Amino acid sequence: MGFQLRPYRREDEDAAISLWQQTWQQAYPGIDFAARVTWWRERWRGELVPNAAIIVAEQAGKLIGFVTIDVSGYLDQLVVAPDHWGSSLASTLVEEAKRLSPDRITLLVNTDNARAIRFYERNGFAHAGEDVNPTSGRPVLRMEWKGK
C-alpha cells in the first residue's frame, strides 16, 4: 500500500485543512476555496473534530488523505490527495469507515461529481434520494451503504 492509517491528532489540523483545500480546488477549479479556509477551519474544529472519528492516511510522514465518520454513520468527508486519485487509498479509507460504522453509512455527494458517485457505487453505496446542500445550495445525491 505504501501508506499507513492512524487516528487523527490535533497536530494534523493544518495538513488536513490544506489537503481539503487542495483537493476541492482541483475538483472544482471555478470556486475559490482559499476564501473558504477560515469557514472550513471553524467547521473542522467545531463540528467534525468533536463529533466524528477521523482516520488519516500518511505516507513518508505526509498526510495524503482522511475520512470522517460520526456515531450516526454519516460520512462527512473523504479526502484523498489528487496524486493518489485512482489508487487504493480512497477505497481503503471507505473500508475503515465501514469498520467503524458496520451497520450503515450515509453521505451526500454533489450531483455533478460523477467521478465520486461512480466511486461510491463501486464501493457498495446505493442512491437514497436527492437533496440540496444547505451551505452551497448545490444539488446533492444522498447515498447509503448497509452492512451485512
Between CA 148 and CA 145 the distance in angstroms is 10
Beta strands in the chain (DSSP E): 4-7, 52-59, 62-70, 75-80, 104-110, 126-132, 139-146
Between CA 123 and CA 98 the distance in angstroms is 10
Element containing residue 17 per DSSP (H, E): helix 13-27
Low-confidence ranges of the chain (pLDDT < 70): 1
**What pLDDT shows up at residue 109?**
93
**Statement: the pTM of the whole predicted model exceeds 0.85:** yes
Q: How far is CA 25 from CA 6, 48, 104, 141, in A?
A: 25, 20, 29, 20
**What pLDDT shows up at residue 28?**
77
C-alpha cell at 69: 465518520
**What pLDDT shows up at residue 148?**
76
**What pLDDT shows up at residue 1?**
57
Widest Cα–Cα separation across the chain: 42
